[in-house]
C-alpha cells in the first residue's frame, strides 16, 4: 500500500465523532435555531445537580477516589477526545503533557524530595506549569502534524517514551525514579484543597470549564475549520485555510486542557514520578478516550468513570489474583461491540428507541457514523 | 394431608426462628475485618503472593477466629508504586471499612501508606513487609506499627562478613527507592567503618528490564558486587550478567537471595552458591520454632516454595502481631482502638525467628542473620546461617543523633 493510499485509508477509518456538522445538516432549520438560543436542556440540569450533590450523597472515598480521580483523568482524556474527535489526530503524548505540568508544579513549587524544588508560590508554579506544558504540547504538535494516522501515533508515542526516560534518568531536575513526592495543593481561604470534598469541587470546576470550553470551541469558526480539516485537509487547504497552523493550534489547546488535568492528577496522587508518564499511562488515556467514545466531549468523562470504577472494584468481582482479566474483558467487550465506545452504545440505543416510536429523525441518521 | 402440611410449616418457622437466634448470637460478636495489601502485580508479584500465604497462615493457625470474633480478610493488590498502594489502602479503609490494615510490601509504598495512616486515626495500620528506614524513623505515625526489622537492620553484620571473605572493594547495584537505600546504608555503614571501599554505586529503576549499561560500568578492580534487587529485577540482572560473561562473586540484599529468587530457573542460579547476604530469615535456621513454622507453611501451601520466602515470613509476623494483639484485648476494638494499640505497643511478639518488641516509634527490635547460599542434595538452593545477631535496633546500635538515614549519597566511601 502506498503511503498516500494508506493515509487515505487511515482517514476513512478515523473515528468520525464530534459531528455536529452531520447532525446539523439533518436537523431542520427551526429547531436548530432554538437549540442555539437556549442550549440548556433538562438532562443538563439533572446531571449538573447530581454532580454538585455527589459529595453529599456518597462517602468521602467515592467523592475522592472515584469522583475526583475520574474528573481529573477525564480532563486529560478530554484533550485527546478533542484532538482525535475534532482534529482527527490521535496523540499518545497527552499524558506526557499532563505529566510535564505536574513536574513543573513540583519543580517551581514545593516537593519533599531531592532535585530542583524552587519553592515559589503555588499560583506561580501552577501558572508556569501550565504555560510550559502548553509550549511542550505546541512543540509536540509542530513535530507531528505533518504525519497522519498511525504515523502520528508512532511519533507521539516516541516523544512520550523519550520524556519518560528523561524523567527517569535525570536526577538534577526530575529526581530520577523517585520523582517528586508530596506535591500537594495549597491551603487557601481556610480550606485544605486536598480534602475529599474541596478537591472534588476543584476538579469538578476545572472539568466543567474544560468541557464547556471544548463544546464552545467546536462551534467557533476555528472548531468548524478544524473539523473540516479532519474530513478533508486538501479541500480546506484549497479554500485558503492554513492546515498546519490549525492543527498546531489544536495541539496547544488540547495541551492546556491536559495540563490542568495533569496538575489535578498530580495533586490527587500527591506525587509525580516517571511511572505517571510511562507507557502504561499513555495507553490508559487512549483507553479512557476510546471507552467513552469520541463523538462528544462528554465521552472522555464517561470513559474515565468506567476506567476508575474498574480499577477499584474489579478485584472484588473475581479471584484476587486474576482481577486484571476483568478489566481487560470489559474493555474488549466495549470496544468490540461498539465502534464508538459508550457513546456509540448510547447513540445506537436512542436511535433504535426513536425508530421504534416511529420517528425518523436525525438521531437515526447520525447513527450512520458508527454503524458504518 | 392438611395436618402434615401444617407440621411442615411449623418446622420451617421453627427453623427460621432458630436460624434467626443463631445469627443473633453471631451478631453479638461481629467479625473483625482485616485489610491485606500486597503486590500481586509488577516486579514483586511472586513475593506478594508469598506474602499473602504468610498472612493467611497466621489466620489459619487460629482457625480464623480470635477471642470469639471471626477474622475476615479483604485482600487488595498494588504494583509496588506508592500511589497505587495508597489508592488500594484507601479503598480498604474507607470503602470496605476494615478495622485493621496489614500491608504494604514495598519500601516506598510503606512511606506513602504511613503518611495516609495519619488521616485515619481510628484505624490501626500494621506493616506488611516494607523495610524503608524512613517509614518509622522520620515523622512516625502514631497508628502505624512495624513488627519486622527494616532494610538497614537486615544488613547488619554483612559488612564484616564481606571483609572476612576478602572483598575489599565492591560495587553497589541497587534499585532507586527507599528500601534499597536502607539496605545499602545498613551494609556500608559497617563496611566503610571497617575499611572497605565502594567506588561505584549504580541506582537502577524498580521494574527495569535492561541492565546492560550497568553491567558495562562494573569496574575491573572490584572484588564483588553488592546486588540489592528484588523479584523479577534480580532474575533479569542475574541472567544478563551471566550472558555478559560476568564472574564476580555476589553479595546479596535481603530480597535478592530469598526463596522466590533462589527458585528461578536459569543458568546463573548455580553461581549464586556462596553468595552472602543479610536478612531477617535463614532457611536453614535450626530453632524448633522456625522448623515448626516451615512445616506448617509446607502443609498449608503445597504449591508454595520449598521454604517460605522473606515476604512470607514477614507478612506472617505482622499478621500474627495483629491477631495476638486482638487476643490480648479479647477482641475489644472500641474507643478508637486505644486499648488494642496499647497492647500492641507493649507486646513481646513470639516469631519463628525469635522475640520481637517495639521501640518508641513502634518499630521492631529483633533478630537478623548473615547467611550464605548453599545447595542441598536435591539441588534446591537455600540459605545457611553464618551468624545470628539478636536485639538489633533501628539505629544499628548507634546513638540516634549520630544515625544518618540511607540515601543515594549516604553513606559514601569511594
pTM of the predicted protein model? 0.85
Residue A205 lies in a domain: yes
Q: Give the homologous superfamily in CATH for domain B28-148+286-366.
A: Response regulator (3.40.50.2300)
CA–CA min distance A366, chain B (Å) = 40
B177, B205, B407: residue with CB nearest A168: B205
A61, A315, A320: residue with CB nearest B90: A61
Residues of chain B neighbouring A168 (CB-CB closer than 8 A): 205
Mean pLDDT of all residues in chain B? Answer: 89
A181, A270, A320: residue with CB nearest B77: A320
- pLDDT, mean of residues B222-231: 93
DSSP structural state of residue A276: G
Four-residue CA torsion sign, B326, B328, B331, B337:
negative
In this complex, do A177 and B176 lie within 8 Å of one another by their Cβ atoms?
A: yes
Size of the A and B interface in Cβ pairs below 8 Å: 62
pLDDT at position A193 over 80: yes
In this complex, do A59 and B94 lie within 8 Å of one another by their Cβ atoms?
A: yes
- B interface residues, A as partner, C-beta within 8 Å: 40-41, 49, 75-77, 81-83, 86-87, 90-91, 94-95, 108, 112, 115, 175-177, 203, 205-206, 407-408
Per-residue pLDDT, A130: 97
Task: Round to whole Å and give the CA distance between A8 and A6.
Answer: 5
pLDDT tens per residue across span B256-314? 988 878 877 666 677 788 999 999 999 999 999 999 999 999 999 999 988 899 999 99
* B28-148+286-366 and B153-285+368-392 agree in CATH topology: yes
What would you report as the CA-atom Rg of chain B, rounded to the nearest whole angstrom?
Answer: 23
In this complex, do B83 and A168 lie within 8 Å of one another by their Cβ atoms?
A: no
In this complex, do B90 and A273 lie within 8 Å of one another by their Cβ atoms?
A: no
Residues of chain B neighbouring A271 (CB-CB closer than 8 A): 82-83, 112
Per-residue pLDDT, A140: 96
How many CA atoms are closer than 13 Å to the CA of B61, on its beta-carbon side? 19
pLDDT tens per residue across span A13-26? 444 445 454 444 44
Region of B141 please: left (phi>0), alpha (psi -120 to 50) or beta: beta
pLDDT tens per residue across span B128-147? 999 999 999 988 999 999 99
Confidence of residue B65 (pLDDT cuts 50, 70, 90): very high
- pLDDT, mean of residues A210-221: 95
- pLDDT, mean of residues A242-252: 96
Q: What is the ipTM of this complex?
A: 0.80
Confidence of residue B93 (pLDDT cuts 50, 70, 90): very high
Q: For B153-285+368-392, give the CATH class.
A: alpha beta
A308: nearest CA in chain B? B87
A148 three-class SS = coil
Per-residue pLDDT, A6: 44
> C-alpha cell of A209?
470549564
A272: nearest CA in chain B? B83
E strand or H helix at A271, and its extent?
Answer: strand A271-272
pLDDT tens per residue across span B339-374? 999 999 999 999 999 999 999 999 999 999 999 999
In this complex, do A271 and B77 lie within 8 Å of one another by their Cβ atoms?
A: no
Residues of chain A neighbouring B407 (CB-CB closer than 8 A): 114
How many domains are contained in chain A?
1
Residue A367 lies in a domain: no
β-strands B354-358, B364-375 pairing:
antiparallel
SS (H, E, C) chain B: CHHHHHHHHHHHHHHHHHHHHHHHHHHHCCCEEEEEEEECCHHHHHHHHHHHHHHHHHHHHCCCEECCEEEEEEEEEECCCHHHHHHHHHHHHHHCCCCEEECCCCHHHHHHHHHHHCCCCCCEEECCCCCCCHHHHCCCCCCEEECCCCHHHHCCCHHHHHHHCCCCEEEEEEECCHHHHHHHHHHHHHHHHCCCEEEEEEEECCCCCCCHHHHHCCCCCCCEEEEECCHHHHHHHHHHHHHCCCCCCEEECCCCCCHHHHCCCCHHHHHHCCCEEEECCCCCCCCHHHHHHHHHHHHHCCCCCCCCCHHHHHHHHHHHHHHHHHHHCCCCCHHHHHHHHHHHHHCCEEECCEEEEECCCCEEEEEEEEEEEEECCCCCEEEEEEEEEEEECCCCCCCCCCCCCCCCCCCCCC
Top pLDDT among A201 and A349 is at A201
| Helices A42-57, A196-217: inter-axial angle, 10-degree rounding | 160
In this complex, do B82 and A274 lie within 8 Å of one another by their Cβ atoms?
A: no
Interface test with A, best of B55, B83, B173 (most A CBs within 10 A): B83
A64, A176, A315: residue with CB nearest B76: A315
Residue A342 lies in a domain: no
Residue A220 lies in a domain: yes
Residues of chain A neighbouring B49 (CB-CB closer than 8 A): 321
pLDDT at position A134 over 60: yes
In this complex, do B75 and A60 lie within 8 Å of one another by their Cβ atoms?
A: no
In this complex, do A323 and B75 lie within 8 Å of one another by their Cβ atoms?
A: no
Confidence of residue B5 (pLDDT cuts 50, 70, 90): low
In this complex, do B205 and A176 lie within 8 Å of one another by their Cβ atoms?
A: yes
Per-residue pLDDT, A152: 92
Per-residue pLDDT, A94: 96
Q: What is the domain range of residue A122?
A: 68-285
Residue A109 lies in a domain: yes
Residue A113 lies in a domain: yes
Interface test with B, best of A67, A269, A327 (most B CBs within 10 A): A269
A266: nearest CA in chain B? B83
Per-residue pLDDT, A54: 93
- pLDDT, mean of residues A189-197: 86
B40, B77, B83: residue with CB nearest A269: B83
As a whole-number percent, the residues of chain B with pLDDT over 90 amount to 70
B80: nearest CA in chain A? A275
In this complex, do B77 and A59 lie within 8 Å of one another by their Cβ atoms?
A: no
Q: Tell me how long chain B is.
A: 414
Top pLDDT among B303 and A317 is at B303
pLDDT tens per residue across span A157-175? 999 999 999 998 888 888 8
In this complex, do B87 and A324 lie within 8 Å of one another by their Cβ atoms?
A: no
- The DSSP code sequence of A1-19 is --HHHHHHHHHHHS---S-
Residues of chain A neighbouring B55 (CB-CB closer than 8 A): none
Per-residue pLDDT, A95: 96
Residue A290 lies in a domain: no
CA–CA min distance B205, chain A (Å) = 6
Confidence of residue A231 (pLDDT cuts 50, 70, 90): very high
In this complex, do A273 and B81 lie within 8 Å of one another by their Cβ atoms?
A: yes
> C-alpha cell of A230?
479532519
pLDDT at position B171 over 90: yes
User: Cell 482479566 belongs to which residue?
Assistant: A325
Mean pLDDT of all residues in chain A? Answer: 84
Specify whether the CB–CB gap between A80 and A300 falls below 8 A.
Answer: yes
In this complex, do A177 and B87 lie within 8 Å of one another by their Cβ atoms?
A: no
CA–CA min distance B234, chain A (Å) = 17
Residue A156 lies in a domain: yes
In this complex, do A177 and B203 lie within 8 Å of one another by their Cβ atoms?
A: yes
Specify whether the CB–CB gap between B248 and B222 falls below 8 A.
Answer: yes
Confidence of residue A115 (pLDDT cuts 50, 70, 90): low
Residues of chain A neighbouring B91 (CB-CB closer than 8 A): 61, 65, 312
In this complex, do B40 and A321 lie within 8 Å of one another by their Cβ atoms?
A: yes
Domains in chain B: boundaries = 28-148+286-366, 153-285+368-392
Specify whether the CB–CB gap between B261 and B288 falls below 8 A.
Answer: no
CA–CA min distance B284, chain A (Å) = 30
Per-residue pLDDT, A53: 93
B41, B95, B177: residue with CB nearest A177: B177
E strand or H helix at A342, and its extent?
Answer: helix A341-356
In this complex, do B40 and A276 lie within 8 Å of one another by their Cβ atoms?
A: no
> Angle CA(B148)–CA(B193)–CA(B357) in degrees, nearest 5?
20
Amino acid at each position: 500500500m502506498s503511503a498516500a493510499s494508506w493515509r487515505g485509508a487511515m482517514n476513512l477509518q478515523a473515528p468520525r465523532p464530534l459531528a455536529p456538522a452531520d447532525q446539523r445538516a439533518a436537523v431542520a432549520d427551526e429547531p436548530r435555531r432554538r437549540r442555539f438560543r437556549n442550549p440548556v436542556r433538562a438532562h443538563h440540569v439533572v446531571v449538573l445537580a447530581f454532580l454538585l450533590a455527589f459529595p453529599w450523597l456518597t462517602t468521602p472515598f467515592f467523592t475522592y477516589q472515584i469522583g475526583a480521580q475520574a474528573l481529573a483523568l477525564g480532563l486529560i482524556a478530554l484533550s485527546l477526545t478533542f484532538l482525535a474527535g475534532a482534529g482527527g489526530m490521535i496523540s499518545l503524548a497527552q499524558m506526557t503533557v499532563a505529566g510535564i505540568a505536574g513536574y513543573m508544579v513540583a519543580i517551581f513549587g514545593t516537593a519533599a524530595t531531592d532535585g530542583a524544588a524552587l519553592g515559589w508560590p503555588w499560583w506561580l508554579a501552577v501558572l508556569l506549569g501550565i504555560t510550559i506544558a502548553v509550549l511542550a504540547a505546541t512543540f509536540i504538535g509542530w513535530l507531528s502534524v505533518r504525519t497522519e494516522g498511525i504515523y502520528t501515533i508512532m511519533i507521539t508515542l516516541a516523544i512520550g517514551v523519550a520524556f519518560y526516560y528523561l524523567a527517569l534518568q535525570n536526577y538534577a531536575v526530575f529526581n530520577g525514579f523517585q520523582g517528586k513526592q508530596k506535591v500537594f495543593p495549597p491551603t487557601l481561604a481556610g480550606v485544605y484543597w486536598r480534602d475529599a470534598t474541596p478537591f472534588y469541587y476543584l476538579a469538578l470546576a476545572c472539568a466543567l470549564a474544560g468541557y464547556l470550553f471544548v463544546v464552545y470551541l467546536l462551534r467557533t469558526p476555528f472548531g468548524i475549520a478544524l473539523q473540516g480539516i479532519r474530513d478533508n485537509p486538501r479541500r480546506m487547504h484549497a479554500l485558503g485555510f492554513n492546515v498546519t497552523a490549525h492543527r498546531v493550534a489544536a495541539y496547544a489547546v488540547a495541551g492546556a486542557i491536559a495540563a490542568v488535568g495533569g496538575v489535578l492528577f498530580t495533586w490527587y496522587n500527591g506525587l509525580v514520578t516517571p511511572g505517571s508518564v510511562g507507557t502504561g499511562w499513555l495507553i490508559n488515556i487512549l483507553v479512557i478516550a476510546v471507552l467513552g467514545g469520541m463523538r462528544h466531549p462528554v465521552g472522555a468523562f464517561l470513559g474515565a468513570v468506567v476506567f476508575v470504577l474498574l480499577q477499584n472494584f474489579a478485584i472484588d468481582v473475581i479471584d484476587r489474583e486474576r482481577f486484571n482479566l476483568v478489566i481487560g474483558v470489559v474493555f474488549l467487550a466495549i470496544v468490540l461491540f461498539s465502534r464508538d465506545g459508550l457513546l456509540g452504545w448510547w447513540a445506537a440505543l436512542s436511535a433504535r428507541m426513536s425508530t421504534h416510536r416511529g420517528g425518523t429523525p436525525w438521531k437515526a441518521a447520525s447513527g450512520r457514523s458508527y454503524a458504518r | 394431608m392438611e395436618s402434615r402440611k401444617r407440621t411442615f410449616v411449623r418446622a420451617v418457622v421453627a427453623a427460621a426462628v432458630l436460624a434467626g437466634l443463631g445469627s443473633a448470637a453471631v451478631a453479638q460478636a461481629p467479625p473483625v475485618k482485616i485489610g491485606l495489601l500486597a503486590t500481586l502485580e509488577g516486579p514483586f508479584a511472586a513475593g506478594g503472593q508469598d506474602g499473602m500465604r504468610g498472612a493467611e497462615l497466621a489466620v489459619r493457625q487460629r482457625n480464623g477466629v480470635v477471642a470469639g470474633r471471626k477474622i475476615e480478610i479483604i485482600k487488595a493488590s498494588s504494583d509496588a508504586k506508592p500511589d497505587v498502594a495508597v489508592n488500594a489502602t484507601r479503598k480498604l479503609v474507607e470503602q470496605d471499612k476494615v478495622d485493621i490494615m496489614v500491608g504494604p510490601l514495598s519500601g516506598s509504598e510503606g512511606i506513602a501508606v504511613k503518611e495516609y495512616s495519619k488521616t485515619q486515626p481510628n484505624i490501626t495500620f500494621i506493616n506488611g513487609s516494607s523495610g524503608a528506614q524512613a517509614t518509622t524513623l522520620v515523622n512516625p505515625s502514631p497508628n502505624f506499627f512495624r513488627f519486622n526489622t527494616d532494610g538497614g537492620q537486615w544488613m547488619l553484620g554483612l559488612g564484616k562478613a564481606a571483609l572476612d571473605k576478602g572483598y575489599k572493594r565492591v560495587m553497589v547495584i541497587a534499585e532507586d527507592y527507599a528500601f534499597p537505600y536502607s539496605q545499602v546504608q545498613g551494609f556500608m555503614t559497617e563496611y566503610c567503618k571497617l575499611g572497605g571501599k565502594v567506588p561505584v554505586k549504580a541506582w537502577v529503576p524498580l521494574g527495569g528490564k535492561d541492565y546492560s549499561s550497568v553491567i558495562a560500568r562494573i569496574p575491573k578492580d572490584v572484588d564483588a558486587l553488592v546486588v540489592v534487587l528484588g523479584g523479577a529485577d534480580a532474575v533479569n540482572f542475574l541472567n544478563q550478567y551471566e550472558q555478559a560473561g560476568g564472574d564476580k562473586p555476589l553479595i546479596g540484599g535481603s530480597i535478592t537471595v530469598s526463596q522466590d529468587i533462589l527458585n528461578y530457573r536459569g543458568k546463573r542460579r548455580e553461581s549464586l552458591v556462596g553468595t552472602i547476604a543479610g536478612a531477617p530469615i535463614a532457611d536453614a535456621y535450626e530453632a524448633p520454632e522456625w522448623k515448626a513454622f516451615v512445616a506448617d507453611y509446607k502443609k498449608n501451601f503445597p504449591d508454595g516454595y520449598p521454604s517460605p520466602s522473606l515476604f512470607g515470613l514477614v507478612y506472617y509476623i505482622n499478621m500474627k502481631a495483629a491477631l495476638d494483639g486482638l487476643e490480648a484485648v479479647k477482641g475489644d476494638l472500641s474507643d478508637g482502638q486505644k486499648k488494642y494499640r496499647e497492647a500492641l505497643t507493649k507486646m513481646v511478639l513470639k516469631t519463628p525467628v525469635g522475640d520481637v518488641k517495639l521501640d518508641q516509634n513502634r518499630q521492631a527490635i529483633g533478630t537478623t542473620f548473615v547467611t550464605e547460599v548453599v545447595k542441598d542434595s536435591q539441588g534446591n538452593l537455600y540459605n545457611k546461617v553464618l551468624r545470628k545477631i539478636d536485639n538489633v535496633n533501628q539505629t544499628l546500635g548507634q546513638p540516634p543523633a549520630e544515625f544518618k538515614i540511607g540515601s543515594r549519597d549516604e553513606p559514601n566511601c569511594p
